[in-house]
Structure 1
């Protein structure tokens, strides 16, 4: 069976990672959560005082530190999914906090950060057999991917999913704060100068506002089967 590259892009908190993880596990592909990579850089910057008081990034200082940021993924047998490691430390929970969410978009908009992450992502997918989700996978990272999916849902639905996810993990959550964060990230991601969030011309759009996880997984599996068998 031939291996393909699967690129899943879309807005924040629209379920990209959930469906990408499940798909990769089902078909035996490598899964890479590119959002976790940008969140890890953000966490590093927060821990090392690389944000100004107004929330802007100390870009010169961050640029000097980029070589000290090592991001890897290790499969968690118990959880059945890959965990994100920053310089050898598992940061899977730390990078999912609302505080990190509130700081990640400015980091992700920095050209040298994106260049570094894209280079790493392309290296990971050189041999195909990979499912990667993010904002610019089908447009910048893997423009020749055999399957490109662009996922969307209303801001309110996405905020509710994020709220439920945080509450389930026992983490603090306020729906209004999360909705504001989702809307702000949508704007920043769509308007940044480098690799803005946009649907690739040959991507299939999936609005999963009113779909169950099982329904979207079935839909995605049908798209994959068509590409592999075709």
Structure 2
């Protein structure tokens, strides 16, 4: 009779979270198999790692899915048509700032950090879901500006792409600031300031 394999000695769901934090902190390229094995549960062997996850790439794919379905949902407001367009953008920025500064995980945003840290052709290809998420968020900002124009709130000469880029670039910049330890309260005040870019294009304030 064939001998049964040893049972896993770790919680797979918890292991995905632990791996997510490692990739979030160091990026795909810089997170080694040794780091993953040492930090999953109380440490697992290479055979156990491959039996559980298949490969580092396969594990990262699970991590991306976990992140995008949890922490990454802070941008969901951009696509909530029940929210006024301005509110949707502001809610996204404030939610992201809060998430990026909260305890319990590395600071910053895995979408932005994952793309910035992808230095090899392999990593760039593997990070395609993160690039897709960023493109979707960009389209969400543009759609919000277009909604503001369609409703008459914003001036007809508003450039949807230009105004959306103001908010998207601010969102991406939060990652660097969070990593450097900027206080969340300062980010909140900055968001109030950046929303004035929307108010400057309001049709009801035009001369």
TM score, norm. by length of structure 1:
0.29
Task: Name the one with the larger helix percent.
Answer: 2
If you compute each CA radius of gyration, which structure gives the higher value, 1 or 2?
2
Task: Name the one with the larger strand percent.
Answer: 1
Work out which structure has the larger RCO, using CA pairs closer than 8 Å and 6 or more positions apart in sequence: 1
TM score, norm. by length of structure 2:
0.31
